[in-house]
Amino acid sequence: MSEQEQVWMCDNCNIPLQPDKVDVAYMGNAFPVELLKCPNCGLVFIPEDLALGKMVEVEKQLEDK
Amino acid sequence: MITNQRIRLYEQTTLFDRVGEAIRPGGMALTDHALNLCDLPSGSRLLDVGCGPGAAMAYLSDHYDYQVFGCDPSAQLLQTAYHHGVRSVVRAIGEQLPFASAKLDAIMTECSLSVMQNAEIALQEFARILRPDGYLILNDFYVRNPAGMAAMRCLPVDSCLGGALPQTDIIRRIERHGFRVMVWEDHTDALLIFTAQLIWRHGSMQKFWCRASSHADPMQVQTAIAQAKPGYFLLIAQKGGRDG
């Protein structure tokens, strides 16, 4: 686990988030990716650079179909 | 920068690491779906033309009771297949297949016909080596906007995009070689997911095309793709047309 991954804690459960498979879905299309997730409550952490970077690119691609 | 040097995208397997189980849209779910539609009996002889690193062959050997063979012109990809324990492979092009006539029950060619030098001769070969009523399972790219096809043809990258045709042309071409088309299904959603996975892996399609080729202009590639609006299809045909 990288240093950055160890830093993030779940605010609800107060335990470290761990990399896990998560289905990302948009406009009826879903695909599995690895993101930090709370092993207890399932809360997923999406960093800002991911939300404004790859996620925007994927959204544009799916909108342009 | 554009030069005459061409890049074989399908040989750059590291670009597709962590993207999925195969270097093509649909993955094994689409392969399973196609085989369920054919309902081949146990022991059927199946050839994967353009087997690449052998991912589908390994999957088929594990999940089906078929005799699975594969061929690919790329020594590099066949070596990878061999390292993964896939043995029944031969180095050959689709236009010249080292198999006896009418001995195979099915041919599967996934994202491969569109990169062959001469698809017409390849289809002639498929018709030769399949038994009567044998299945041709084809999934590949097609062009949803024929007006944009010329731009895709000029791309300096050897990929399924360059050889893609409109649906009517593909069906006509298959029928011309003595097949009757049983199934045509659009699977463009699988292509969208595949593209999304590539973006996730590389950050953007622009970065993907930059990594794929230093000779291809990413903007040119993306503009050509946007014009042609590529889709993805599954076609299943049986040897023996209306007259055959």
The DSSP string of B33-77 is: HHHHHHTPPTT-EEEEET-TTSHHHHHHHHH--SEEEEEES-HHH
* C-beta separation of B230 from B14 below 8 A: no
Chain B residues close to A58, C-beta within 8 Å: 196, 199-200
**Candidates A30, A33, A62; nearest CB to B200:** A33
Share of chain B above pLDDT 70, in %: 87
H or E, element range at B210: helix B205-212
Residue A62 to residue B204, Cβ atoms within 8 A: no
Instruction: Fill in the DSSP letter of residue B104.
Output: E
Optimal mutation site among B21, B186, B191, B200, interface A, most CBs of chain A within 10 A: B200
B15: Cα separation from own chain's centroid: 17
> At residue B90, does pLDDT exceed 90?
yes
Work out the pLDDT band at B244, boundaries 50, 70, 90.
Answer: very low
ipTM of the complex: 0.74
Per-residue pLDDT, A3: 54
Q: Structure tokens of B146?
A: 């024929």
Residue B176 pLDDT > 50: yes
In this prediction, the residues of chain A whose per-residue pLDDT falls under 70 are 1-6, 65
Residue B12 pLDDT class (50, 70, 90 cuts) = low
Q: Is the CB of residue A57 less than 8 Å away from at least one CB of chain B?
A: yes
B228 → chain A, closest CA residue: A65
Find the CATH number of the domain harbouring A48.
3.10.20
Model confidence at B3: pLDDT above 50: no
Residue B22 has pLDDT above 70, yes or no: no
The mean pLDDT value of chain B amounts to 87
With an 8 Å Cβ cutoff, is A30 touching chain B?
yes
The domain made up of B7-238 has a fold known as: Rossmann fold (3.40.50)
Measure the CA–CA gap between B237 and B133, rounded to whole angstroms. Answer: 9
Output DSSP code: residue A53: T
DSSP for residue A54: H
CA distance A29 to chain B (A): 7
Inform me whether the pLDDT recorded for B224 exceeds 90: no
Q: Could you list the residue range(s) of the whole structural domain that residue A50 is in?
A: 3-63
Say whether B203 and A54 touch across the interface (CB within 8 A).
yes
Determine, for residues B200 and A61 on separate chains, whether the beta-carbon distance falls below 8 Å: no
For chain A, the domain total comes to 1
The nearest alpha carbon in chain B to A31 belongs to B193
CB of A54 within 8 Å of a chain B CB? The answer is: yes
In this complex, which of B188, B199, B203 lies closest to A61 when CB atoms are compared?
A: B199
